[in-house]
Structure 1
Amino acid sequence: MGAIPTFDSAPFDSAQAASVLDWWHDAGVDLLVEDEPRDWMAAEPVRPIGFAAPAPAPLPAPGLVPTLPAAAPAALLPDTLDAFLAWRLSDAAPEAAWDGISLTATGPAEAPLMVLVDCPDRDDGEAGQILSGAAGRLFDRMLAAIGQSRETIHLASVCARRPLAGRTPAGLETRLAEISLHHIGLVRPRSLLLLGNAASRAVLGTELTGARGHSHAVDHKSGKSQAVASFHPRFLIEKPMAKAESWKDLQRIMGDMRA
């Protein structure tokens, strides 16, 4: 296949339309238009990685009664991995109102390598695990190439359920990023592999195209992890030419784990 998914002469149905949207989302194109013009040549603002000290609250205007600041969202999350994973499947999770089935993370609680993807694929609910089907088989081969398997890594997703067309709602991106960083802090992996644009944005605050090519130190409440961003397996299926670049990313992960 080429860079743009192609289909036969059969009618273009909703499943095919969703597949096309998935492909563009993995490539980093997650919106069509914006309300305000954007200077695409301007430097991207730097967003702190991990947990940063909150900015001081502004002083209330004279005559106004100050309101108490809201509790930090991360402080409300369970502080053990078992409790956190149970919470991710509960009605209190941000995705609880979405259609579909929530899938929990899998793998050892203290795995040296944690892999984070955007969300379950359409067929993952029936399979009962993240990354099933053709993308899952390719993922298993990628793990084997670096001497790993699903039994040795901790695999999770930014969204516990699949959002509409596979795209994280803009209004929940910040909350889901906080949840992902909390999850990373509970696992405390030595290395972190971020597959796809949504995972890169959630953890690094950077588009995949800008995040690739080097390792990133990610601060979390339990220390630091070295993160590498790469392509999602479903993107590699649609664009096999990107597999060479993906292999470079996997080699970087191996180097970080041996350092």
Structure 2
Amino acid sequence: MGEQETITPEQAAYAYAHWWREAGLDCATEEVPRRWRDGEPVPFWRREPGVARAETAPATEAPITPADVQPATVAAEGSRKVEARSPARALSQMPASLPAFLDWLAQDEMQPERHWDGANLTLPALATPHIVLIVEMPAAGAETLDQVLEPQQRRFVTAMLAAIGVKPEDAPCLPLALRRPPGSLLDAGVMPQLATRMSHYLDLVRPGLTILLGDRIGRAMLGESWRPGSSNMEKVDLPGRSLDIISLAGPDLLMNRPLAKAKSWQTLRLLHGTLTQ
């Protein structure tokens, strides 16, 4: 029998790092804290085998003096003018008419989706629609609002609406985010701004009923009044009017979980009179 080649743990780690580098991953994780403002040390996979990592002397940083700190702009005693783009501030800057709002949405450089890849969808200029469906994000590769849902999701939602006597064209499906985010996951920090923006849009178009498809949208739009699995219709007060909202599970969950599908069906049946009046 042939002898097996033995390698040291350091050599194994060296070969492992080289394998990942060839696969396109050019970074490493080290246990030793790094001083990122110092000169970048040579990664261990680029060093000669057996050469220890040279320790870098801690860089001395100049102490921060009160003169270096810029004072915050104070609007009034006890209050501070916050420059962050919070949902409340974003709401105050949104135009009060639907055409102006849609133009602002298309041109404003501060929108969260501005630098994401993919087609940037536009919200339609609806006029008091009977029902509006809202999902978290467009499907992969979506270029129009008709493609917001995956084909299988679209067929399922169409069948769900048909069961309560509603045609798909009478219940447009809109995305909370107008582009699909990197990694297909909306960051929790972006959700409040997107929810505030959508609430303002709904306040302008005045739908009869809004159906939220997805728990994350329900939490963002309803806030503390959201309850998982709730079958109640919530009434949300907006500056222009109150909005009737029901929150259901997302399309994928409804298709793959019979219990969630049955629960949502019961909710729609209880609201059948509201949906078809």
- Give the alignment's TM-score, normalised by structure 2: 0.62
| Per-residue CA distance 1:38-63 (angstroms, 9 max, x = gap) | xxxxxxxxxxxxxxxxxxx99636xx
Q: Which amino acid aligns with 2:191?
A: E
Structure 1: tracts of 5 or more residues without a match: 1-56
Q: Distance in 2 between matches of 1:126 and 1:154?
A: 12
Task: Point out the structure with max Rg over C-alpha.
Answer: 2
Q: Residue in 1 aligned with 2:256?
A: 238
Deviation, 1:80, is 2.6
Structure 2: tracts of 5 or more residues without a match: 1-73
Q: Which amino acid aligns with 1:157?
A: P
- Is 1:60 matched up with 2:72? no
Query: CA contact under 8 A between 1:228 and 1:252: conserved in structure 2?
Result: no
Q: Residue in 2 aligned with 1:26?
A: none
Q: Residue in 2 aligned with 1:163?
A: 181
- 1:1-259 residue pairs with structure 2 within 5 A? 60=77, 67-68=80-81, 72-90=89-107, 92=109, 93-106=111-124, 108-125=126-143, 129-206=147-224, 210=228, 212-257=230-275
Identity rate of aligned residues, in percent? 30
Deviation, 1:237, is 2.3
Question: After TM superposition, what 4+ stretches of structure 1 lie above 6 angstroms from structure 2?
Answer: none
Q: Which amino acid aligns with 1:60?
A: E
Q: Distance in 2 between matches of 1:221 and 1:211?
A: 28
Q: Distance in 1 between matches of 2:271 and 2:141?
A: 28
| Per-residue CA distance 1:52-78 (angstroms, 9 max, x = gap) | xxxxx99636xxxx6546683212123
CA RMSD in angstroms comes to 2.9
Query: CA contact under 8 A between 1:200 and 1:206: conserved in structure 2?
Result: no
Q: Which amino acid aligns with 1:99?
A: D
Query: CA contact under 8 A between 2:145 and 2:174: conserved in structure 1?
Result: no
Q: Which amino acid aligns with 2:189?
A: G
Of structures 1 and 2, the one with the larger relative CO (CA 8 A, separation 6+) is 1
Kindly tell me: are residues 198 and 127 of structure 1, through their superposed partners in 2, closer, same or farther at Cα, counting changes over 3 Å? same
Kindly tell me: are residues 161 and 207 of structure 1, through their superposed partners in 2, closer, same or farther at Cα, counting changes over 3 Å? farther
Deviation, 1:234, is 1.9
